[in-house]
Chain A
């Protein structure tokens, strides 16, 4: 595909070798006894199904030898998602996140095939097949200024198709302005009204902008600790084996300041610490902001994508947070006052995901 907002477009067709993948996994489990998450992303990882199968097999081998534990996730555009791979994913507990922008008008605006043909209609059957075996598969929707007007209908469409775990993200790099934000805010309000309706109807779902912002209050300072720490919690590895602090940075290239090592020589800890320190930078513009503890302004990766600097807050993010937090709080306040059981358990009962699965008899993980 040639998605217009892709932050990892193809670079000369470079492909990761099995050897590089294996070294990456060895490196990942070298210093930790905890289960290590391996995320296959691209480009499009399902163009390399064979490599994925080989690496999962290698992970099992390492695990049997007591050299590491792994869990897996894969982010895909869905075009190459077939029954065979779905069965493999279910057998090996690979979580699948599908990029899908919702209704056709929104999806086909940016998610184009290589020959510029639209991709929505091709995906319909893939989406249904995925949700049939993985109802809690993440569906990742990107919102652009020119698709904001479809946001509510897109989420509603995906919910109607059976999606239960929706992650809505803004394209922070796009040309947002006050007019497009007004459209977005209206859509978020509509989404808030639907969130109320769906919750009152006992539907089980996770809708990221709402859940995340409600959690930022419910879990207070713990929520701060869960946020991304640039270069610490996750590393990204490009096809050649170069290591970067987050998924956005491989596009900067191995010669850039963001390359912090390679799978053969390991991580340059000095460089990693320097980047992490940059990400911890206290932003003057946020010093007096009442929302700073609930806001994602400390996400260096996102700031870099939008402003070109890790230590400069994205104005788009700031505007989004100022819009989204009051809308999420309004929804949560209404449901709390109603003592809505689904809301109460979803937000306050840590065992809710498990109990929810027990309740609906599903076997996938929310």
Chain B
């Protein structure tokens, strides 16, 4: 039989999460699951309810199911978080002595970019600001001390501020894909230290990495992508530079940041494909 080569290729999926629904033995270990969830047209019909009870009883005899076995084999909703894809420095500082400050992207600007890229692959983010229960970040403070002419940083827990529950920026309607853009605004909420001096440093890349690890451990069936602001600089070489030129330079920097962010999102999409989500 004549064959022709096909442009699609075989490829192994190296990692695939446990589906977010149980196997038959796991489901039937809880007899109430079926007995308490009868299809609408079966309710009020004793013969249908009786048949379900009979089936469950038969199943229990065959498999010896019990509540204990459910606990042992409880469905674990798997999930995964992509690594943070590094495009852009993601670090910088703002304050009096900083001559080359970063041009931060706003959440709206960044989520616009992320949304555009994902929608190109038919992932539409329709859920907004989803609290992720159980994932909290203690608040930190940073202070500087001078010792023998050297400035030393010390980070400690901020006793005056309660821990903050993480809120995911966006997710698809089914909760299968979720994204977080780590912005300047998020920095402190995610455990980045506050500095009450005149200079505030930001390490969004490091914070994003930690967040990605935390999300990856949740196994809640969601595939998370964590992106960070590349924080491109817009340094002024001449302090006498007219203000309108400065704005132009900042706009250029933001444009570069957006392009770097796009690269992060495209890497994430490739990762999703590798996971079998796309």
Which A residues are in CB contact (< 8 Å) with B275? Answer: 326
- Nearest A residue to B37, CB-CB: A341
Q: Is the CB of B48 within 8 A of A202?
A: no
Partner of B24, one of A176, A322, A348: A348
Interface string of A251-264 (1 = CB under 8 A from B): 01000000000000
A267-322 CB contacts (< 8 Å) to partner B: 285-291, 304, 306-308, 313, 315-316, 318-319, 322
Given A315-B9, A350-B55, also A175-B4 (CB < 8 A): yes
Cβ < 8 Å to A, chain B residues 1-38: 1-4, 6-16, 19-25, 27-28, 33-34, 37-38
Of residues 129 through 178 on chain B, the ones whose CB sits less than 8 Å from some CB of chain A are: 174, 176
A181 close to chain B: CB less than 8 A: yes
Q: Are B11 and A355 neighbours in the complex by a CB distance under 8 Å?
A: no
Could you say which residues of chain B place their CB within 8 Å of the CB of A322?
Answer: 11, 13, 276
Judged by a CB distance under 8 angstroms, whether B46 is at the interface is no
A304 — which chain B residues lie within 8 A by C-beta?
1
Residues of A near B10 (CB, < 8 A) are 285-286, 313, 315, 318-319
Q: Is the CB of B23 within 8 A of A217?
A: yes
**In the complex, which of the residues B12, B13, B19, B28 contacts A348, with contact meaning CB atoms closer than 8 Å?**
B28
Contact between B4 and A333 (Cβ–Cβ < 8 Å)? no
Please determine whether A351 and B174 come into contact, CB atoms closer than 8 angstroms.
no
Is A233 an interface residue when CB atoms closer than 8 A count as contact? no
Supposing A189-B122, A355-B42, A358-B47 touch, asked if A287 and B34 sit within 8 A by C-beta, the answer is: no
Q: Is the CB of B8 within 8 A of A319?
A: yes
Pair A177/B33 contact, Cβ less than 8 Å: no
| A355/B52 in contact, CB under 8 A | yes
Q: In the complex, A186 Cα to B121 Cα: how many Å?
A: 9
Contacts of B1 in A (CB 8 A): 252, 304, 308
| CB of B39 closer than 8 Å to a CB of A | yes
Whether B277 sits at the interface, judged by CB under 8 Å, is yes
Q: Contacts A339-B37, A355-B52 known; A329 to B6 CB distance under 8 Å?
A: no
In the complex, are the beta carbons of A333 and B21 less than 8 A apart?
yes
A336 to B22, CA, bound (A): 8
Considering only CB atoms, which chain B residue lies closest to A248 in the complex? B1
Which B residues are in CB contact (< 8 Å) with A57?
Answer: none
Q: What's the minimum C-beta distance from A340 to chain B, rounded to whole angstroms? A: 8
B11 CB contact (under 8 Å) in A178, A318, A348: A318
Which A residues contact B (CB, under 8 angstroms)? 175-178, 181, 185-186, 189, 202, 214, 217-220, 252, 285-291, 304, 306-308, 313, 315-316, 318-319, 322, 325-326, 329-330, 332-337, 339-342, 344-345, 347-351, 354-355, 358-359
Which 3 A/B pairs are nearest by Cβ-Cβ distance? A333-B20, A336-B21, A290-B16
In the complex, besides A290-B16, A330-B176, 10 extra interface pairs with C-beta distance below 8 angstroms are A217-B19, A220-B24, A307-B3, A322-B13, A322-B276, A332-B21, A333-B77, A334-B174, A335-B21, A341-B40
- Chain B residues with a Cβ under 8 A of chain A: 1-4, 6-16, 19-25, 27-28, 33-34, 37-42, 45, 47-48, 51-52, 55, 59, 77, 122, 174, 176, 221, 275-278
